[in-house]
Amino acid sequence: MILLIAWLTAVATVVLAYVIAGPIWVKRHSLRFRVGKTVRRTSGAYGEIAIVSFAAAMVWLIDSAGKDVSLASLIMDHPVPVGVAAVVVGLVVYIHGIRTAFAAEPDERWRLFFTYLVYGIYSLIVFAVGAVVVALLVMQAIADTQNLSSLADAAIAGLPAGPGVGNGDLIRSIEFSYLDMQSLLSVAEESMTPVFMFMAGIFAINLAIRLTPLRSLFINNAVLLTMISTLIGLMAVLAVGIWTYVGNYSAVITQYVDAMAALRPQAAKMHPDYVIRYSEIMVEMMDQKSLLSFVTRISSEWGGVAAALGLAQWVAQQFNRPEADESPGEIARAEGH
């Protein structure tokens, strides 16, 4: 409900801002597209609605994928930081908007002033959506670490020890603890799903900016924007991946292998078939600890979607036209000369 209200508010305010600005923003924020040899323009509000709608969809997906955190809990559990961030960003947005309005031509200043008063609400919501995505990813990663640590302790605690443990009980406990560990590692791998969704979303919006009239909304910065957003997405994947591997995946396996190694004197006295099974589990767990095994196992459906969209973006970059050909700002300056 919170996300729906924010999206409806953003759509309403951006439409109202374009209505107030009128022809002034046609020069600055219109969408350009070609019909035959003719260049047509339409309101940039359509593009901005598409952007905030896509961003809201990304928040919804990541919020749905997170098992321990949500948008509602984020706001309710941290009201003070959320409120302070909103005030600070709101001040920056409105100060920038007012300065931009009064730097315009004298006959446009007051119209732009009222435009930016309304448009500031849209800008604040767009920023909030981006901040929420990052916050959800970070909080989910922290929650995953705590959950996996508890699950690992429970799985290892199930391994028996002591001279009174029979061979049958020992191998049975080892098998069940191994099953628990495999389930636990699957949870660790699934913790990468939200960040892969984030990366796929970035690639998708970058493709839209590069290949559709959306790029004219950003005037001279469309290519730069896609490069920066791609870098942010890659850094997010690397950061969460390293956190998951070092703090969760590898650490949990190391803890389990050490606990299994402590059972070696008892395991050596078991039936030969049990010894073989014990050895297989040890070897398999040590193999799974490798970074290559981790990368292979986290390559889920969303990882494949992100990779495919990333490849499509790279192809689009190779065949894309120069920035000046698409930018109305560049064309306007060229015509002025």
**Predicted structure pTM score:** 0.69
- pLDDT confidence of residue 50: 84
Place of tokens 């309304």: 118
pLDDT in the model for residue 82: 83
Q: Are 312 and 203 in contact (CB under 8 A)?
A: yes
pLDDT value of position 224: 55
Check residue 12 and give its pLDDT. 92
Q: Which residue has the tokens 């970058």?
A: 206
Buried residues in 254-267 as b, exposed as e (16+ CB within 10 A): ebbbebbeebeebb
Residue 226 confidence (pLDDT): 56
How many angstroms separate the CA atoms of 322 and 33, rounded?
A: 15
For residue 89, CA distances in Å to 53, 84, 161, 318 come to: 21, 9, 57, 36
What local confidence, expressed as pLDDT, does residue 281 receive?
87
How many Cβ atoms from other residues are within 10 Å of residue 63's Cβ?
A: 21
Query: Mean pLDDT in each 10-residue stretch from start to end of the chain (337 residues)?
Result: 87 88 73 68 79 84 78 82 85 85 82 87 84 81 77 76 70 85 78 78 75 60 56 71 75 84 82 86 84 71 67 65 46 47
Q: How many residues does the chain have?
A: 337
